[in-house]
Structure 1
Amino acid sequence: MHSSIQDLPPFPEDLHLAPIAQISSSKLLSGDPQEAARVLEATKTYGFFYLNLADSPEGQTLLSESEQLLALAQNVFELPVEEKVGYALQKGVSLFGYKPAGTVKQTDKDLRPDTTEFFNISKDHMHGIADSRTYPPQILRSRELLKEFTQHGHQCGMVVLRTLAQQLGLDPEEFLDLNRFDKPSGDHCRLTRKFAHHGKENAIGLPSHTDFGSVTILFNWLGGLQIESRTEGRVGEWEWVKPMPGHAVINLGDAMVKFTNGLLKSAKHRVVPSPGPQGNLDRYSVVYFVRPHNDALMKPVGPFDNGATVNVAGKFSAGIDEKKVFTAGEWMVQRAIQLGN
């Protein structure tokens, strides 16, 4: 169990860190043009950045909610595995529910079973936008907290998307209309636990992947996240993302690659054993995924819709026509099928 980053073993000093930007939520909320330009640069290069949430009241609220959800995660994952699998998500049907540890992804050349379990909790289910599936009582008792976190997490994602639209010379509402909160979508809160590896250096928390929504907002307290380098001389190597107090880690997903026809980046990332003494502790994280609403068309927007299209980083399974324009709902089902691959 751990309650905050201050109580944890230190992150080792001798690791190669990803050179990702630190962005101020306060400056973004006030429309600071220099900070907005830094967000665009970050999303055109690494596809990741730190967002300082401690410097704004809105950010502080989100940080507080993430700490409360950390406590919920610690509680709900203590349920017996036989009980947790009763809430299992249906691969290829829905992203919502429980995924046990032990999934093997075919893209992992070593075919290592992952060591991460998670609960995906639908924003729509918490807010009554769609009929809910079943969830453990601990999660249902925390519905009000989950409603607040999903709403505030979505608002945070909208600040990022509005900033990017303005920087790209688009209507500020262009990306917001594709990611509306009030329409059914794949938006969800994810609670995760990666088991302590206790010396198994080759263990994998989650294999290399790209996210497939619009914006991911990650709260984590232990190391383990790595992203693929885009630095000259290091391209393709793995670099560490060190957890920073008061900050969330923000990254874009494949939807934004699709909407901007490849201008913005969805970086490959993975979760490996936490480094140093941190590896002896279970690693929890709390995530909010902003995804296009189910009716949104997955195609380039505005001036990016110029006839040529890029394939997104996360490829569909064999036999899926990349040239077809999917709705986001169709797209999510195709990508959900990959969870079992």
Structure 2
Amino acid sequence: MANPSDLPVINFNSLNEKDAQGQRTSASLSERRHLFLSLRDTGFAYLKHPGVNQTTVDELFSHSRRFFAKPLEEKMKILGKMDKGRGPSQGYSNPLQLAHNPKTSDLKEFFGMYRDDDIEKPNQWLEDTESRAMRADLVRFFDSCHGVILELLSAVAEEVGLPPETFHSFIGEKNHFIACLHYPATERESFQTRVRSAPHTDYGCMTLLFSDSGEGLQVLCNTGEYEYVPRKEDCAVLNVGDLLSRFFNGVLPSTMHRVVEPPATRSGDSQAEIVPDRYAIAFFGHFNLDLLVKPLDALVSATNPAKFESVVAGERVKARVKQLHVAGHSLKEEKGSESRVTSVSA
């Protein structure tokens, strides 16, 4: 992988641009190819104008700051559980409350939600005016991101000769997950034994990550070194998940990444001992729970045999989440791993 700061910028507005006859323009076809090649080469891209109302995104960051500023006992009223069947927990989660070894757990806390009209497994919400407003904005954000993922899947499907709707029914359950993430301010020396998010790949289909001005996201390069992915204005960071990589027989890699301390400044003694808070909002696109995931026939041949065994989407995600958020590190690399780059477990 090249330096992540040089990741291609994909203009989402151009992906489905059509002319007066309803045909995709040359700019649209070029951008769709650009998207596929970026994900093929790195598993990551910047997505400019990412199909989500910026006012809603700004409001969500305001909601997040107010939510995480609440007393711990208030947030613990909606503490998430790891036994709800899908994987990530609904409600408030804090690795200090879940990890086997809190001393090495991630330096973060988050609020998580699934589709909000699921009666069998309802999301958890605090009962106050602010929480009701946060809920309404998150539901709008959820629906917008689902539409973005549909368009991105159409584009990558067509680039390998598949009908654009190939993956649409695979995410019809809208089993996606939103995590409003808070990385609390901490002493810089804390990072000698802990990180804000342990090295991992994402587990499902595709991820859209929206960040505030705080830095710290790093992606593992082909050199074996982690490099920072700086925030770009009006862009989300897009990356491929494990299960989409399986469908593509590894053509689209699921790349290791982590969140650590931001780059040190060079302003004399102001190389702060306290690293400030950082906020992020992640939309994890996921496949239907019972979907059997295996390399697509179109990407398997005698000269390019299947690199992965079949797995059930929901079961695979649960196993990965439990390992990361409870044990505190990703699953050990296995034969046929989705990740193109071998990682060192945390």
1:228 corresponds to: 220
1:199 corresponds to: 188
1:99 corresponds to: 93
Which moves more between the two structures, 17-26 or 194-203? Answer: 194-203
Pair 1:334–1:297, CA change in 2 (3 A): same
Residues 269-290 of structure 1 deviation map (CA, whole Å, 9 limit, x = unaligned)? 0000123469632000011111
**Is residue 320 of structure 2 the alignment partner of residue 335 of structure 1?**
yes
1:62 Cα offset (Å): 2.9
Whole-angstrom CA distance in 2 between matches of 1:269 and 1:146: 25
Structure 2 unaligned segments of length 5 or more: list them: 18-23, 266-271, 328-346
Pair 1:62–1:127, CA change in 2 (3 A): farther
Equivalent of residue 47 in structure 1, options 30, 43, 49? 43
Whole-angstrom CA distance in 2 between matches of 1:103 and 1:209: 20
**Is residue 291 of structure 2 the alignment partner of residue 296 of structure 1?**
yes
The secondary structure found in structure 2 opposite 1:285 is strand
Whole-angstrom CA distance in 2 between matches of 1:22 and 1:337: 33
Equivalent of residue 311 in structure 2, options 326, 329, 332? 326
Whole-angstrom CA distance in 2 between matches of 1:258 and 1:72: 36
Pair 1:166–1:140, CA change in 2 (3 A): same
1:1-341 mapped onto 2 (5 Å cutoff): 17-30=4-17, 31=24, 32-53=28-49, 59=51, 61-93=52-84, 94-95=87-88, 96-102=90-96, 112-123=104-115, 126-128=116-118, 130-137=120-127, 138-180=130-172, 183=173, 185=175, 187-200=176-189, 201-202=191-192, 203-221=194-212, 222-230=214-222, 235-276=223-264, 280-304=275-299, 308-311=305-308, 323=309, 325-338=310-323, 339-341=325-327
Whole-angstrom CA distance in 2 between matches of 1:41 and 1:294: 28
Whole-angstrom CA distance in 1 between matches of 2:121 and 2:67: 22
1:211 Cα offset (Å): 0.2
In the superposition, the TM-score normalised over structure 2's length comes to 0.78
In the superposition, the TM-score normalised over structure 1's length comes to 0.80
Is the CA contact (8 Å cut-off) linking 1:105 and 1:207 kept in structure 2? no
Is the CA contact (8 Å cut-off) linking 1:229 and 1:238 kept in structure 2? yes
Structure 1 unaligned segments of length 5 or more: list them: 1-15, 312-322
Letter in 1 for 2:16: L
Give the CA RMSD over aligned residues: 2.6
Is the CA contact (8 Å cut-off) linking 1:196 and 1:273 kept in structure 2? no
Identity between Structure 1 and Structure 2 (%): 25
1:184 Cα offset (Å): 5.6
Q: How many residues align?
A: 298
The secondary structure found in structure 1 opposite 2:156 is helix
